[in-house]
C-alpha cells in the first residue's frame, strides 16, 4: 500500500522517483505510517497538500 501511495503522490507532484524530493516524500510517508496512519486515503490527503505540485530537481 505504501508503494502505491508513494507512486500516486509522485505522479500528482510530477516527481521523478530518484530525487531528493521523492526521498523526502518517502521518509514522510514512512513517518506517518509509523505514527499509526494506516488509511490509504488519509495518507494521500496528508501528502497531497495544495501547493506541493512542484517541478522536480535533478536526480540524487
Secondary-structure percent of the chain, ordered helix, strand, coil, rounded to 5: 60, 5, 40
- How far apart are the C-alpha atoms of 18 and 33, rounded to whole Å? 21
Residue 28 covered by a domain: yes
Domain that holds residue 26: 2-47
The total number of structural domains that make up the chain = 1
Any domain includes 24: yes
Residue 24 contacts by C-beta under 8 Å, 6 or more apart in sequence? Answer: none
* pTM, two decimal places: 0.80
pLDDT tens-digit readout, 2-59: 999 999 999 999 999 999 999 999 999 999 999 999 999 999 999 987 555 444 444 5
Domain assignment present for residue 59? The answer is: no
Residue pair 16/59 in contact by the 8 Å Cβ criterion = yes
Amino acid at each position: 500500500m505504501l508503494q502505491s501511495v508513494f507512486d500516486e503522490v509522485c505522479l500528482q507532484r510530477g516527481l521523478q522517483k530518484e530525487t531528493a524530493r521523492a526521498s523526502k516524500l518517502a521518509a514522510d510517508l514512512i513517518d506517518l505510517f509509523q505514527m499509526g496512519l494506516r488509511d490509504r486515503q488519509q495518507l494521500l490527503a496528508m501528502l497531497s497538500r495544495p501547493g506541493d505540485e512542484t517541478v522536480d530537481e535533478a536526480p540524487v
